[in-house]
Amino acid sequence: MTHLEKAYLDIVPVYSFLLFLLGGLAVFMLRPPVVVITDDVFSAVYGTRREHFKRIEMSAQLFRRVKLVRVSEKAELDAIIFAVRDAARRPVSAVFPYRYYEAARLYAAQNPKTPVVVMAGQNKTPANNSPAVEGDGALVFIKEDEAADFYHAGLCAALLSTQKDSEGAANNQADTNKTILMIVNGDASLRAGDIFERGLRDRGSGASCVFKEMNDNYPINDLSCVAIWGQASAFLYSSTENEIPVIVFSWIDPDFASPNVKIIVDDSPLQLLPAVIKSLGKGDVKRVLRAGNNVEIFVPSVFKIMTLRTDSLPLVLRLNIAARLPVNSAASGTGGRT
């Protein structure tokens, strides 16, 4: 074999690898993007830098570009529609926050072949499989799966509240002297109570559970864990002055959370994007949209375990497992929902 032939054989794998990368990049760039409408309100809570890196992360997960379209809160509907079209002529989906519901309706009417998603959270929306309003396009409403979120929060609260080390078994006798506090909005109290407590009991916790409104005070001396669902006023319990482990349902940037926040339950649009796009690919969802009917999909939040703030690696592993356990429909009330 000549030196030339040997050199040729040496560079073939390199060129093959480069061609593979270029081919992958070409496919990535040619695939229709996902367009997500955002504004300064979202960025103020989520963090601009975090928003940028999350967009890159979601693009990698979906293997397609995720384009953020920043609009003004006071923008006219036509201006919002123009901004979306300017970002992508035929996106695989356009994702609107609920506060831009009217813009989503208009965009869906003008672009019937593009699945239009409204991140509805806990807001009231048209029923699943209900006909779209005449003159509007069908919409996909992404709702927060409260049942799954509360149940998983209960499982995690039981783990965080125990004072035993990772090798010890939970001591139910000791647990009975503990109190776990959950702060909720009034309309969520009844929904949250039974499901959250069921998560505690399924994890073997004997701790008592107390539910309080946002503005209610509760002594922190006897608390072993606090779960906060709702507005930022409840961050009274998320301070550097106590060591009570806290679970927060929030979009807050983990870098800005208080040291005793151990878990952030995140249902932000960017965080849920992979689950949303996956749902749009299901056959039953496509059939309902083709029929001109609205779709309602319940998506559980993502539990961000604050690894560096948690006492031990075994506890981190148990928390991650608890946050991802499948939720039995009879236990959670999520059965039968798209």
What letters, b where the CB count within 10 A reaches 16 and e where it falls short, cover 54-78?
A: bbeebbeebebbbbbbebeeeeeee
Superfamily of domain 146-266+301-332: Response regulator (3.40.50.2300)
- Is pLDDT above 60 for 42? yes
Contacts of 219 (CB under 8 A, 6+ apart): none
Distances (CA, A) of 189 to 185, 193, 210: 6, 6, 11
Q: What is the pLDDT of residues 180-219, one digit of tens each?
A: 888 887 666 566 778 899 999 898 888 888 888 766 667 7
pTM for this structure?
A: 0.82
Question: What residues does each domain of the chain span?
Answer: 11-145+269-299, 146-266+301-332
Distances (CA, A) of 110 to 149, 248, 314: 35, 39, 52
Name the average pLDDT for the chain: 82
- Is pLDDT above 70 for 50? yes
Q: State what percent of residues in the chain have pLDDT above 90.
A: 37
Establish whether domains 11-145+269-299 and 146-266+301-332 are of one fold.
yes
- Is pLDDT above 70 for 328? no
Q: Is the Cβ–Cβ distance between 107 and 94 less than 8 Å?
A: yes
One-letter identity of residue 311: D
Q: 37-46, 57-66, 231-240: which has the highest mean pLDDT? A: 57-66
- Is pLDDT above 60 for 288? yes
**Cα distance from N-terminal residue to C-terminal residue, the chain:** 64
CATH code matching the domain that covers 11-145+269-299, chosen among 3.90.79.10, 3.40.50.2300, 3.40.718.10, 3.40.50.920: 3.40.50.2300
